[in-house]
Amino acid sequence: GGGLARGGYRASEWQVVLLGAGLDTRAWRLAPRAGDKVAAVFEVDVPEVLGHKALVMAETFGVDFPLSLGDAHASVAANLAKPGWRARLRDAGHDPARPTVWVLEGLLYYLSQEAADELLRTCAGASAPGSRLVASAVNGPSLARARARGKRGGAKATWASAIDEPVEPFLRRLGWTAATVRQPGESGCEYGRWRGEPPPPRDPGERPDDAPPRTWYVVAEVSREAATSATTRRSGEDGGGGSYARRFDFRRDDSKGRGRWTTREVGSDGRNGRNGRNGRNG
């Protein structure tokens, strides 16, 4: 709450967007100080992942598990490697005129370089002044090591991209100004979990071919130019149609010992929209 308030906005004005949310539970796990909840939390991922997550949470915590991070929540079914996710996020209620924290943790290196660049550029173009980016990334040697060590069919074997230039100009080119760039294990980036020696410090003249494997934890703010451009584009947009968020509902049939999840689109006015597909858990 206090960190967001420093951007000139109240905590209640902020939105949090978790891109590639997976099984993340921040919306229900993080408890800010009283009165410091954000306006809304959006989780974007493919429908199979969001549906499975809703099923597991409903079976574990019950259907009505309360939010702790924000006042509202929406699951947005979309493939971030393809065009169209931004429109779905907007239709789910994301307001580009309000500040946003974009969380891209464990995501960028699973995308092609072109898709990763476009994702960062799109986030900047949908950001009000003061909006922030929180992301993790790797360099080329780290990507090569992951591919070499990754088991066939394992997650690391599918890594697809890296940042092989200084992180600050890379982000600047895509509409972001880096605030902090740290490696896990460096001072201030241990989080009580690091074991062993800290990573070697960055060398400003380091060449990609000679660099050791590195992982970056980045916090950045949208650049003034990107935010101004986004504001200019939004001024020419109309209000759009109804706002729909894909919700994943879970229903248990105790007589058969089975659970069933369904998807439905719920309008911003609370009315039901189009029905989605059904799935079963045996």
How large is the average pLDDT for residues 192-205? Answer: 81
- Sign of the four-CA dihedral 66, 68, 73, 79: negative
| 167: nearest Cα among 142, 189, 146, 138 | 138
What tokens does 50 get? 């969001």
DSSP 123: H
Question: What whole-number distance in Å separates Cα of residue 51 and Cα of residue 18?
Answer: 16
Q: What does the pLDDT look like over 233-275, one tens digit per residue? A: 554 453 333 333 444 443 333 444 333 334 444 333 333 333 3
Domains of the chain, each with CATH number or no CATH? 2-281 (3.40.50.150)
- Residue of 213 and 228 predicted with greater confidence: 213
Q: Token pair 């071919």 is at which residue?
A: 209
Question: Is the pLDDT at 150 greater than 80, yes or no?
Answer: no
DSSP E strands in 5-118: the ranges are 15-19, 40-45, 73-77, 100-104
What tokens does 76 get? 């947005």
pLDDT confidence of residue 214: 92
- Residue 206 CB burial class (10 angstroms; 0-12, 13-18, ≥19): middle
Question: What whole-number distance in Å separates Cα of residue 154 and Cα of residue 136?
Answer: 19
Percent of residues, the chain, with pLDDT higher than 90: 50
pLDDT confidence of residue 103: 97
